[in-house]
Chains A and B, each alone.
Chain A
Amino acid sequence: MVKTILSIKEELMKKVWILFVFISLCLVFWGLSISFAQSLDTFKGEKGSVKISGGTAHIPVMKEAARIIMTANPDIQITIAGGGSGVGIKQVGEGLVDIGNTGRKPTDDEIKRYNLKLFLWAIDGVALIVNPKNKVRSLSKNQVIDIFSGRIDNWKALGGEDRKINLYTRDEASGTREVFWEKALAKGAIAEKANVVVSNGAMKSAISQDPYAIGYVSVGHIDKTVEVITFEGVTPAIDTVKSGQYSIARGLFSNTKGEPTPLTKKFLDFLYTAEGQKIIAKNGFIPVK
């Protein structure tokens, strides 16, 4: 008898707990929905899809924005693909996607040929990264030029282990590569032996796997699996990119062919709202108003 009463009591407690957790979750979601309500109001009653492709640096921000918008309005479908800046311009120019992202400003020729409309929404740094096992943490511009051209090919010369340096670079269509090549390498040569990876994400995972590697990624992709290199005495971070001290920086653009469709316009506008800017900043970029 006593036992059954106890077990009933236990069960009741369990139920109370579940109810409590449920209510608190509801409160959290309610709070979230209030904080996003204003920026998300414009999506009410909208239907349709937005297709995005191109620059891989943009992906974390695009994904988060898409998730929030699609949660608020399940009638909207937003798809995000990578491919690199070159793919972004090509696909938006041919009308395959609504938004083509580029990690560089499209050239005048590209803008004219495809009638592109540019939306600059963030400034991004491109950081040199190495494996955490590597002890080298600081390089000068000349050293970087020598490393990537192959003139310095051993970590020993830079204060590291006596192992060959494994270079990693990006493919022909990468905006990140273009900015890095222009601003860090002063348009110098990249050695033929450099490994080529196809996205910022692939670069990060390659470097995190290879103790003797050096490569470069968008600052938004940096996490604990890789270690950032101080370039010319400046550590790439939000404040140093913002102040212009850190020189390897570029704009993140979203481009549309002509005027964007209403829904696409709303998506792009969302990036400029307080919520959008919060997402951009959270991912390590500097939002542009």
Chain B
Amino acid sequence: MKLPKEAIVERAFQLSTIVSGSITFLIFSFMFYMALPLIREGKIFQILTSTWSPLDDVYGILPMIITTFAISFLSVLIAFPISIGCSSFINEIGPKQLNRYLKKIVQVMTGIPTVIYGFVGIFLLVPIVREFSGKGSGMSVITAALMLSVLISPTMILFFNDSFERVPASYLNAAEGLGASRVQKLIYVIFPNAKKGIIIGLILAFGRALGDTLIALMIAGNSTQIPGSLFDSARTLTAHIALVIAADYESLEFKSIFASGMVLYLFTAGIVIVVRHFAFGEKNTR
């Protein structure tokens, strides 16, 4: 027997689920609709495969696609070992007293707005990279990747922490009883059992790196070339959208942002689906 009140609440939750779920699809269909003229005229292929040269009336986003992938992969590559190390320290290796504070600091870090990271990047990181590399302006792929890795590590660390904590204490006690050291416990007990959490943390962090606009806009330099080295200035898809959104509605350069949006959307969705499938598939076979 369900109370009428309960039924109302259930309906309300159902409705909000449907709304938030359908918004995802609505956004995609909106972008698809806006990009339709490009697809119909066959320009979409040109946009996806050529570079940005307004003088020739060619508004390709290939350099931005390459830069987006380069910067987000790099930042995850940098942030992953740091985050794993940090979580291991907080959960297993470090002294308990200190760990409490470390955890608080990480929590605070997740809440810092990205514009502040960008700002710090301009005044601290950019001059360092410029002098270190000895060429370029210091606004480059590596600068943005480094700053982004600082942005995404707290998210990763918190996720890893949670999954480490969920490893049953009995497993750890058993390992300890067999004479395992702390590091051995981490490698043979915690990591394998927390694998799913680690993978989900990675997806989320990657998504954040991929979707972040301000850091790349502020310190990656925004040039429209295909970056040839880590120290080259480059523009991400998100920064490209932010830079071109003010252009004339009717212009082809404005329409290129719908292609950018679709690429971002499809790529993020693709990564999530593939990695989730991989993670859940693992669970089902067990």
Query: Would you call the interface of chain A mostly helix, strand, loop, or mixed?
Result: mixed
> Does B122 have its Cβ within 8 Å of any Cβ on chain A?
yes
Whether the pair A198, B135 counts as a contact (CB closer than 8 A) is: no
Smallest beta-carbon distance B235→chain A, Å: 7
Whether the pair A163, B217 counts as a contact (CB closer than 8 A) is: no
> Does A285 have its Cβ within 8 Å of any Cβ on chain B?
no
> Does B110 have its Cβ within 8 Å of any Cβ on chain A?
no
> Does A171 have its Cβ within 8 Å of any Cβ on chain B?
yes
Whether the pair A172, B253 counts as a contact (CB closer than 8 A) is: yes
Q: Out of B123, B137, B222, B246, which one reaches A90, CB within 8 Å?
A: B246
Smallest beta-carbon distance B128→chain A, Å: 12
Whether the pair A172, B247 counts as a contact (CB closer than 8 A) is: yes
Whether the pair B243, A193 counts as a contact (CB closer than 8 A) is: no
Whether the pair B246, A164 counts as a contact (CB closer than 8 A) is: no
> Does B67 have its Cβ within 8 Å of any Cβ on chain A?
no
The 6 nearest A-B residue pairs measured at CB? A173-B246, A196-B222, A166-B137, A86-B246, A192-B225, A195-B221
Q: Nearest A residue to B127 by beta-carbon distance?
A: A209
Contact partners of B253 in chain A: CB under 8 A:
172
Contact partners of B135 in chain A: CB under 8 A:
163-164
Q: Nearest A residue to B227 by beta-carbon distance?
A: A193
Give the tally of cross-chain contacts (CB within 8 A).
72
With contacts A172-B253, A195-B221, A209-B123 taken as known, whether A86 is within 8 angstroms of B248 at the C-beta atoms is yes
Chain A interfacial positions (CB closer than 8 Å to B) = 83-84, 86-87, 90, 110, 163-164, 166, 168, 171-173, 189, 192-198, 205-206, 209-210, 212-213
> Does B139 have its Cβ within 8 Å of any Cβ on chain A?
yes
Q: Nearest B residue to A194 by beta-carbon distance?
A: B223
Whether the pair B249, A171 counts as a contact (CB closer than 8 A) is: no
Smallest beta-carbon distance B260→chain A, Å: 13
Contact partners of B247 in chain A: CB under 8 A:
86, 172-173
11 new A-B contacts, CB < 8 A, other than A172-B246, A195-B137, A210-B126, are A86-B246, A171-B222, A172-B54, A173-B246, A192-B52, A193-B232, A196-B222, A196-B223, A196-B235, A206-B139, A210-B137
> Does B201 have its Cβ within 8 Å of any Cβ on chain A?
no
